[in-house]
Amino acid sequence: MKNKMIKNNRVLIVDDQEEIHKDFEEVLNYPSEKSIPDDLASAFSSDKRDDSFLPKFELLHARSGQEAYNIVKESLEDDNPIAVIYMDVRMPPGWDGIETTRRIREIDKDVEVVIITAYNEKPLSEIVNNIGLLHKLLYIRKPFAREEIQQITISLVEKWNVEKELAEKNRQLEISEQMLRKELKDALAKMLNGFLPICAECKKIRDDNGVWNQIDTYIQKHTGTKFTYSICPECTEKLYPTLYQRRQKMMSKKDNKES
């Protein structure tokens, strides 16, 4: 299967251990030139799999929290944001993963963050309370399987892109609605600007061609407004007196019961 290109495939790996960066390169970049080291220090299982299904990811690397923050900041300034961040909790010295994520959230609320932790590190409750935005936060413990990281990355990158597409469509809809409102307002202003020749008896309006139009026809023609029709009480009494009297009696009985 050929690699699929994703609109934004940028993934940032934040960890102070160089071997972790190498592991991510092995797991997320296909084809691999070598297998993942089969030792206990690796964060990934050493099972070999066919990774040809993977999309082409652009991996970026940071060895400290400050470096990660600067990479995210520069990516936003360049209008080339990062979709997913894998953030290790412990990165001495300097900011830890929780503080780094909190600071990144202040400038980028759209990025998907995966917190990586070991069993003896901070609990989930502390991470959630300090970071927030739970719909854009995942929490995984070392060690993890390569398929786990591959699936998480594919899903979160796709999620980021789908949400961006939806936000853009909503923005375009809002712009279109604003334009339509403005066009309608301008059309009404143009139509009602100055004097309109209207019949004093039947209330028809004369257009520029000298044709007399019903007022609703004239407005619909010039603004696109559509009308719904009913009949007012005065016209009901005039045109359908029997029906009008019957309705009046029914309303009178109803009022007496309620009182």
Would strands 212-213 and 84-88 be described as parallel, antiparallel, or unpaired?
unpaired
Helices (H), the chain: 18-28, 65-77, 97-107, 124-131, 146-192, 215-223, 233-239, 241-258
The band of 40, judged by pLDDT with boundaries at 50, 70 and 90, is very low
Q: How far apart are CA 259 and CA 253, in angstroms?
A: 10
Domains and CATH numbers, the chain: 10-31+53-173 (3.40.50.2300), 205-256 (no CATH)
State the chain's mean pLDDT as an integer: 83
Instruction: Specify burial of residue 148 (Cβ count, 10 A radius: 0-12, 13-18, 19+).
Output: middle
pTM value surpassing 0.75: no
> Phi/psi of residue 9, each to 5°?
-115, 25
Comparing C-alpha atoms, which of 25, 81, 87, 34 is closest to residue 54? 25
- Does residue 46 surpass a pLDDT of 60? no
Q: Decide: helix, strand or coil at residue 10.
A: strand
CA atoms within 13 A on the CB side of 253: 6
Q: Which of 128-132, 146-150, 195-199 has the lowest mean pLDDT?
A: 128-132
Task: Enumerate residues 6+ apart whose C-beta is below 8 A from 16.
Answer: 63, 64, 88, 90, 91, 92
